[in-house]
Amino acid sequence: MAKPVVAIVGRPNVGKSTIFNRVIGDRLAIVEDKPGVTRDRIYGSGEWNGKTFSIIDTGGIEIDGVDHILRSIRVQAELAIEEADVIVFMCEAKSGVTQSDEEVAQILFRSGKPVILAVNKVDNMRRMDDIYEFYSLGFGDPVAISGSHGTGIGDLLDEIVKNLPDLTEEEYEDDVIKVALIGRPNVGKSSLVNAILGEDRVIVSEVAGTTRDAIDTPFEKDGQKYVIIDTAGMRKRGKVYETTEKYSVMRSLKAIERADVVLVVINGEEGIIDQDKHIAGYAHEAGKAALFVVNKWDAVEKDDKTMHQNEQNIRDNFLFMSYAPIVFLSAKTKQRLHKLLPVIQHVAQQHARRIPTHLLNDVISDAVAYNPPPTDKGRRLRINYATQVAVKPPTMVIFVNDPELMHFSYERYLENRIRASFDFEGTPMRLFTRRKSDES
């Protein structure tokens, strides 16, 4: 289900990132302490009073070639207006209303989007008097908050959820595989979509995917139904948008949320850059089935070692997604394109796969017998049993005598043994350790 998007907008040093981290919570700010998973996130998830939403910290959006601060703020505000359902306009109490604040206010006021005015750094009662001048910006009652102390955050979240829209999206049958193509600009996502659909020549219809104009394209091949979720951004954009690398993350995240399988598209001519890792990291953290698609393979000078070298380069750069298969192809010439849909179908099946409890416990028992858990201060981890509790992604709970004795390296060992026994190619796995008495 697509989630509404909230954007935090404001000039530098008003505390946008602090509030962003407060809203998403520390447990979400760093999802996994593994090599390659991005840390400088600008996009996270929040929840308040049973309502969930995505949130953007526009302070993390880098505008290439723009060194004027006011211009940068303006562009970030425009991006937020285009992508967000609710905008949090952040100012800072001590500085009062600045020229930059007034500039952003004018842009936001014309947008017609719900705008919540938050005045940060109201760290004590004496600062409360400083918020009154912010009424002049025209957004009603300012919400006084303190990112450093955490005060007022609940009031801010109340206002956010009050303004969230109720998003509806197209419903599909369970047997339809929803596929999202993600990647930085100019890796050939649009060409690949056209190549897939052009080869199959069975476009059924184009339907509105969500209220934010994403276009879903259903098609069928060899009896399997698919839906391609467009993330290419079909509307024309100015040069500023084209050079805003991190902007692509916003659109990609919306598609990832709705997808079963995510294609991480890489430009075979240019190779891998950090932005590829940023975007792939979000698919991994969302628990989606995924594969790497190296596009423009026709333009790469090759010998008998080229494919192996490129594959190894991907593995080295995406250590956190070692489970994801790699497909080399050319959308332009259709070279190797026929290999793509069978891999998509395979990883979708693995993503939804459920393992009987007795088979899972047989594998765990064999793994423990082959490599017993190490001792920790004289105490040894004892695994009682395991069970799969969810699919998409496959999620296992392992009941033990003391979860604190489960070392990360041993958990990874168990995951590798489960993968070796049951495949699970193309899908992340979730392993949770619980004390046996926690079962009830």
Q: Which residues are annotated as a binding site?
A: 10-17, 57-61, 120-123, 183-190, 230-234, 295-298
Structure tokens at 204: 């059924």
Q: How far apart are CA 411 and CA 105, in angstroms?
A: 50
- Sign (positive or negative) of CA dihedral 266, 182, 288, 180: negative
CB contact set of 376 (below 8 Å; sequence gap of 6+) = 405, 407
Burial class (CB in 10 A: 0-12, 13-18, 19+), 15: buried
Cα angle: 236, vertex 249, 267; to 5 degrees? 80
- Sequence length of the chain is 440
| Parallel/antiparallel/unpaired status of strands 395-400 and 430-435 | parallel
| Parallel/antiparallel/unpaired status of strands 51-57 and 43-48 | antiparallel
Cβ–Cβ < 8 Å for 324, 318: yes
Structure tokens at 33: 């302490």
Structure tokens at 5: 């998007």
- Give the residue ranges of the annotated binding site for GTP: 10-17, 57-61, 120-123, 183-190, 230-234, 295-298
Phi, psi of 305 (to 5 degrees): -105, -10
CB contact set of 102 (below 8 Å; sequence gap of 6+) = 137
Angle between helices 16-24 and 153-163 (to 10 degrees): 80
Q: How far apart are CA 163 and CA 105, in angstroms?
A: 18
Least Cα distance to 10 among 85, 113, 116 occurs for 116
CB contact set of 251 (below 8 Å; sequence gap of 6+) = 83, 231, 233
Phi, psi of 60 (to 5 degrees): -85, 0
Q: How far apart are CA 229 and CA 219, in angstroms?
A: 11
Phi, psi of 103 (to 5 degrees): -60, -50
N- to C-terminal Cα separation, the chain: 30
